[in-house]
Amino acid sequence: MFLNGCCRFLAICALIFPRTWCFLPNKQRVLLVSFDGFRWDYIYKFPTPSFHDVIKNGIHVEQITNVFITKTYPNHYTMVTGLYAENHGIVANEMYDPVLNETFSMNRMTIYNSEFWEDAYPIWITNQMQGHRSGAAMWPGTDVKIHGIFPTRYMPYNESVSFQERVAKLIEWFTSEEPINLGLLYWEEPDEMGHRLGPDNPLMKPVITEIDDLLNYLVLELKKAKLWDTTNVIITSDHGMAQSSTDRIIQLDQYVDRDLYRMIDHSPDVAILPKEGKLDDVYNALVQAHPNMTVYKKEAIPSRLHYSHSSRIQPILLVADEGWEILQNKSDPFELGNHGYDNALPDMHPIFLAHGPAFRKNISKKAMNSTDLYPLLCHLLGVDPLPSNGSLDNVKDLLASEVPKEPQDRSQQESFAYFIGVFLGSILVFVFLLVFIKHLTRSQVSAVRLQHTEIAQPLLQD
């Protein structure tokens, strides 16, 4: 009887103070998928039934304004931090840090120097520090130990690992005994073929068709695992692609002596580090050199690009007009498709679709910023976001349920309520334990007395 009373008491306490008894409330799963270089309008240029099926049953944002420069590493880090490149520190695929005296290059192992990544905390760290688990299949930066932390589960980057193997590993992590609640999936195409062929080439049709087939495979595998209808799946990209031409090449050797500078990042945004004392010489030689090339001193880069407040941004930046390439001369490698241009240009914009229990269905939105993805991810995961350049208010119309206008204030209120709940709950538990001990003590005393009486009775009868 006493035990039944204890159980009822504990149940009432758990109902009144649920966060006292469950420190990690059950939140929804999220899978973030990036098809590198998938331009926003590929789904209209080529047959893509799988993409359109997701749109019919989920949401579609027509134009995503990504961050400058519109290259792979800066934009993938923006998606998971909500920060402009100047704030998260990954300002290019190739960059030089004068403080570290180190060069970062996606073509060398220097990308694994954690110091390059530690101006920000990516979403997997945010998620894990608040008690959850993350899993990453090749997402840029996830195999780097950032602030001393790896994702809970991750695959070291290996381009030869198939899309199917990456999907299988993520599903394994989502369905394990200690499941992840956040998955990140990266695929290299159609970026590689977009560079090789150019986005306007009819041969891009089978490339995009194959991506559509991969998306269909992902959906079917998630359905088999009973994850498709219970997981919030976001399908996006880092940037678009523009068509280049050998008729649109700007050759720096025609205008400035290459001994006066070092080229850090390459076309179509060229980061120039002048030799000591040569900044003005290099700038003056290039500033009016070509009508399709804009030349900035670092301090004069337009504020709308959010690309000046980092020591890794070089003293001079050259930006080509769309479709133009900046090379030292025509012997340099040349590609028929490229990206990195001004992020206001539509051809630089990526795709954005989403499906899941948190999202509305068959909804189209005109535009959003890629910086808004991070606060959206945090909302879906139920974790408190770090400060970012994005806002949940900008994307709350994509969600099936209403989002409070000031999520950070709400979090503070919830945090206060949580500690009040813990405090009051602890008092109740303490009182309960006192009552329990007192009752137990009385029960034991009564039992001892009863035993003494039973022992004494035969002696009295004699």
Residues 327 and 353 in one domain: no
Tell me if 113 is assigned to some domain: no
Answer with the one of 403, 427, 445 that is the final residue of a domain: 403
Residue 107 pLDDT: 78
CATH code, 180: 3.40.720.10
| Judgement on whether residues 64 and 183 belong to the same structural domain of the protein | yes
Residue 37 lies inside a defined structural domain of this protein = yes
List of residues 6+ apart from 51 with CB closer than 8 A: 43, 212, 215, 235, 351, 353
Round the average pLDDT of the chain to a whole number and report it: 87
Parallel/antiparallel/unpaired status of strands 94-97 and 59-65: unpaired
Residues 131 and 63 in one domain: yes
Both 38 and 180 in one domain: the answer is yes
75 lies in some domain: yes
Residue 438 lies in a domain: no
Same domain, 207 and 286: no
Whether 449 is covered by a domain: the verdict is no
Residues 303 and 263 in one domain: yes
User: Which entry of 70, 72, 126, 236 is annotated as an active-site residue?
Assistant: 72
Kindly state whether residues 357 and 326 are assigned to the same domain: no
Catalytic: 72? yes
387 confidence band (pLDDT: 50, 70, 90): very high
Say yes or no to pLDDT of 445 above 70.
no
Confidence of residue 444 (pLDDT cuts 50, 70, 90): very low
Domain that includes residue 270, residue range: 249-338
pTM as predicted: 0.83
Q: Quick one: 308 and 360 in the same domain?
A: no
Write down which residue in 338, 370, 390 finishes a domain. 338
The reply to whether 366 falls in a domain is yes
Asked if the structure places residue 382 within a domain, the reply is yes
Check: CB of residue 227 under 8 Å from CB of residue 29: yes
Share of the chain above pLDDT 70, in %: 81
Q: Is 223 exposed, middle or buried (0-12, 13-18, 19+ CB in 10 A)?
A: exposed
Regarding whether 173 and 151 lie in a shared domain, the answer is yes
Residues 171 and 65 in one domain: yes
- Per-residue confidence (pLDDT) for residue 372, from 0 to 100: 98
pLDDT value, residue 8: 37
Q: Give the tokens for residue 247.
A: 């008729």
How many separate domains does the chain show?
2
Co-location of 157 and 46 in the same domain: yes
Q: In the chain, pLDDT over 90 holds for what percent of residues?
A: 79
Is the same domain home to 53 and 144? Answer: yes
Average the pLDDT over each of 26-30, 40-44, 74-78, 88-92 and give the range with the smallest value. Answer: 26-30
Answer whether 106's CB lies under 8 Å from 157's CB.
Answer: no
Q: In what order do the strands lie in the sheet with 316-320?
A: 261-263, 269-274, 316-320, 293-297
- pLDDT recorded at residue 411: 40
List pLDDT tens digits, range 325-343: 999 999 999 999 999 999 9
In a domain, 286, yes or no: yes
Q: List b or e across 167-191, with b for residues whose CB sees 16 or more CB atoms inside 10 angstroms.
A: bebbbebbeeeebbbbbbbbbebbb
275: CATH: 3.30.1360.180
d(CA 342, CA 369): 14
Boundary of a domain, candidates 315, 338, 361: 338
Q: Who wins on pLDDT, 444 or 361?
A: 361
